[in-house]
Amino acid sequence: MITLREILASRGKLVALTCYDYPTALSLDASTVDLVLVGDSVGTNVLGYRDVSEVTMDDMLHHARAVRRGLKRASLLVDLPFNSYQTGEAAILNGKRLIEAGADMIKLEGGMELVAKIRALRSENIRVVAHIGHTPQSHVGTRKVFGTTASEIESLLEVSKQLQLAGSEAVLLECVPERVATIISDRLDIPTIGIGSGSGCDGQIFVITDLLGWHHPNFRFSASFDDFRNRTVATANRFAHEVRDGVFPSATQVYKVKDSELQQALDAGQEKDL
């Protein structure tokens, strides 16, 4: 299996998107996106949960399997959800479950406490991406920029270095000031993947529903490359209009039956009082 560092070397930049279902996976696999993430953001973007802390291992396994079925080319990264890796043993147990569901590598978020867990996972040959900076599982309901004070910057520099030494294949930086993220990227030998952390990262990741315009979040780093929600509404309205006007289904969209077969069935039914 090709590593993220090898992809970066061949592509120049890593490109990643979240994905939660089979048809989207097919589309992303047909694109030039390098990495697909089944994130715990499935909870708020697909399942209607209030926040990511409600997402369970069963949720992640279900969606990981669906996405895996649609991928042949792109690498698959899957989140360990909230409360599923409190210890190294739990991280290994649940990490193996995600690998069995089709993940190529798993992602977990936190800080220095991840070092021992990543070492444990690597001892079982489980590939890992560490997520630092803003960590949604521990900052429910808020989005905090991390790395604006000297102490926070020092912490990010030290943590990222230790995560690399522990065996993390990449570091995902969320909501880290651009200059800080660039320094981290320059100092690490492994790739950095940014979200809301500027162009100095080795790659970028984005939430697919935001990218397509399904949702319209107000984060500073938000961007919509399509207006899929309004196009979906318009298409659904056109369908409803054609149904109500008797246009759909048309004569070419229905199945036929021979007159003789229909009459034979009706005659037989009449005899049986059907």
Q: 176-206 burial, b for 16+ CB within 10 Å, e for fewer?
A: bbeebbbbbbeebebbbbbbbbbebbbbbbb
Task: Confirm whether residue 107 is marked as ligand binding.
Answer: yes
Q: Which amino acid is at 149?
A: T
Q: 88-125 burial, b for 16+ CB within 10 Å, e for fewer?
A: beebbebbebbbebbbbbbbbbbbeebbebbebbeeee
Residue 80 near residue 38 (C-beta atoms within 8 A): no
Q: Are strands 105-109 and 128-133 parallel, antiparallel or unpaired?
A: parallel
Task: Confirm whether residue 124 is marked as ligand binding.
Answer: no
Task: Confirm whether residue 40 is marked as ligand binding.
Answer: yes
- Is 174 one of the annotated active-site residues of the chain? yes
Task: Confirm whether residue 109 is marked as ligand binding.
Answer: yes
- 3-state DSSP: the chain helix, strand, coil percent, rounded to 5? 45, 15, 40
6, 124, 154, 174: which one is catalytic?
A: 174
Write down the residue that tokens 């970028």 correspond to: 204
Task: Confirm whether residue 202 is marked as ligand binding.
Answer: no
Q: Which tokens belong to 243?
A: 């149904």
CA distance 255 to 118: 58
- Active-site positions? 174
Binding residues: 40-41, 79, 107, 109
Binding residues for 3-methyl-2-oxobutanoate: 40-41, 79, 107
Binding residues for Mg(2+): 40, 79, 109
